[in-house]
Structure 1
């Protein structure tokens, strides 16, 4: 992870309905209460779907590439617009995990060069994150009935998220659905941001 002074970048990744957005909303409130200028990116899958790209278990190379590159562009724009802290709702590796899970779900494989290209594209952004949070799937927590999630796909995404992080030895903090786990993650992030702001 980066150690230079300047805008702080915190990314979160994990399968759907595991508290990514809620965690970042809480963190954003805490940071703003401490006087920091915060930008939160997100809604990438919805924005991709709005322009006709597939999502969830239907992800393709194109939809994955769009989400990765749009996420990077959003994070760069947030810094350019003066954010002291950028909260990335779906760090770049998240899109890659969703893609790998979609391929496994459908029993398909992508061309080796396409897989490598997407992995390289997602990996280039990883060193810019000062802190990464990976949410952990807890299937005992009920899912909003408004969402028609496929349980098998949700499990596959969770496995691929944590597999990608482990494969590349990427430093991160696992965040469970336990309120104490989330509170500790927020405290860690706030402490980091305040230390950097004071440096």
Structure 2
């Protein structure tokens, strides 16, 4: 891959504590082992909260727009710094899923034009993803009890993630909590990157 080439972008989305960050860490480790330069984005929810914006079931139009926009900036910065592969922890549609789930959770109806605007913004990022992984909620897997997660909201996000992907016919690969599914996702990502490296 030449220095002037666009980096490969591998993105993941899914409800919280379904292995997104762990999956990207594994992919990153494998790619670095093959000598590739890798950048990984993330921490958008925490950074939004640090900026004074609501998160989780309290998401608003404003916080959703901030997360999508900041994610775009992070990806652009990683590419500008010469990364051959950019691993995106939370694809743009992830923010839409959290926003829609928050609206359902609070029994509110999002303003139609605002939802369409946010969805259009998120959709601009889809052509940039070379691979998109969607994690699948498995409630039998224990989660970190230090997090005060609302189980109902977590299910709502999972449902919204997969509904968005299906309704908009967005190409993606599902990743379950099964170790074989995780290992296969890592293998697919690594092979895709190595194939591009040889071109």
Taking structure 1 as the reference length, what is the TM-score of the superposition? 0.97
Q: Is the 8 A contact 2:13 2:91 kept in 1?
A: yes
Deviation by residue 1:137-180 (Cα, 9 ceiling, x = unmatched): 00000110110100000000000000000011011000000010
Structure 2, unmatched stretches of 5+, are: none
| Equivalences for residues 1-199 of structure 1 within 5 A | 6-199=6-199
Task: Give the Cα–Cα distance (whole angstroms) in 2 for the partners of residues 89 and 166 of structure 1.
Answer: 20
Q: Is the 8 A contact 2:136 2:176 kept in 1?
A: yes
Runs (4 or more) in structure 1 with deviation over 2 Å come to none
Q: Is the 8 A contact 2:6 2:79 kept in 1?
A: no
Q: Is the 8 A contact 2:27 2:190 kept in 1?
A: yes
How far the C-alpha of 1:182 sits from its partner, in A, is: 0.4
How far the C-alpha of 1:72 sits from its partner, in A, is: 0.7
Task: Give the Cα–Cα distance (whole angstroms) in 2 for the partners of residues 31 and 87 of structure 1.
Answer: 11
Task: Give the Cα–Cα distance (whole angstroms) in 1 for the partners of residues 197 and 159 of structure 2.
Answer: 35
Task: Give the Cα–Cα distance (whole angstroms) in 1 for the partners of residues 45 and 126 of structure 2.
Answer: 19
Deviation by residue 1:1-23 (Cα, 9 ceiling, x = unmatched): xxxx6310000000000000000
Task: Give the Cα–Cα distance (whole angstroms) in 2 for the partners of residues 167 and 84 of structure 1.
Answer: 31
Taking structure 2 as the reference length, what is the TM-score of the superposition? 0.97
RMSD, aligned α-carbons: 0.6
Task: Give the Cα–Cα distance (whole angstroms) in 1 for the partners of residues 77 and 167 of structure 2.
Answer: 30
Task: Give the Cα–Cα distance (whole angstroms) in 1 for the partners of residues 185 and 139 of structure 2.
Answer: 21
**SS of the residue 2:133 aligns to:** strand
Structure 1, unmatched stretches of 5+, are: none
**SS of the residue 1:139 aligns to:** coil
User: Between Structure 1 and Structure 2, how many residues are aligned?
Assistant: 195
Task: Give the Cα–Cα distance (whole angstroms) in 2 for the partners of residues 111 and 150 of structure 1.
Answer: 25
Task: Give the Cα–Cα distance (whole angstroms) in 1 for the partners of residues 70 and 152 of structure 2.
Answer: 27
Deviation by residue 1:94-118 (Cα, 9 ceiling, x = unmatched): 0000000000000001111000000
